[in-house]
Amino acid sequence: MTDKARFERLTLPHMDAAYNLASHLLQTRADAEDAVQDAFVRAYRAFHQFEGADIRPWLLTIVRNVCFRRLQERRRADNVVSLDEVSSRSTGAAFEADMASADRSPEQTAIASSDQALLAHAMAELPPVFREVIVLREIEDLSYREIAGVIGTPVGTVMSRLARARTELKAILNRMTNQDDRNAM
């Protein structure tokens, strides 16, 4: 088997996890797709350096680094783009509409929408460093040690950051549900 075939066999099953992390961090479909492609090509070029038993954390580390670099570039670019663009991007509203329309029938979208939209909004409000630990822990089920490897911090930091991220997410969700209740009345 060629290196490339072996690489694809190992990594493509984790494309979903890679795209999920990238989407949460970058908040737009196009950027997430670009970042995943960038990360896969980088991972392929660095494949000889991979020595672990589990390729998923290794791959997610690369995805994560690519995404944070893009966020950094975006911040730099934001200094020169118009305010409208920045605000629509930062609310996450554009992103949510973007994501909801992706490959779903209108009925499915309607059923899932309330909780899903709520969560998408809440996640978008979290700072990226909180978002990533929530995604890696709650969705991807990574251990603290694996998360520490992906985000490049000690395990103790993972524990405290995750605790803060959860508290923050809870507060945002509570605030949003209260708002919804008031709007309903």
Q: Which residues bind another protein (CB under 8 A)?
A: 4, 7-8, 12, 15-16, 19-20, 23-24, 29, 32-33, 36-37, 39-42, 44-46, 48-49, 61-62, 64-66, 69, 99, 102-103, 112, 115-116, 119-120, 123, 134-135, 137-139, 143-144, 159, 162-163, 166, 169-170, 173
- Tell me the closest approach of the beta carbon of residue 83 to another protein, in angstroms: 26
Between 170 and 175, name the residue whose CB sits nearer to another protein: 170
Between 87 and 152, name the residue whose CB sits nearer to another protein: 152
Between 110 and 112, name the residue whose CB sits nearer to another protein: 112
Between 41 and 81, name the residue whose CB sits nearer to another protein: 41
- Tell me the closest approach of the beta carbon of residue 154 to another protein, in angstroms: 13
Q: How far is 185 from 176, CA to CA, in rounded Å?
A: 15
- Tell me the closest approach of the beta carbon of residue 76 to another protein, in angstroms: 10
- Tell me the closest approach of the beta carbon of residue 184 to another protein, in angstroms: 19
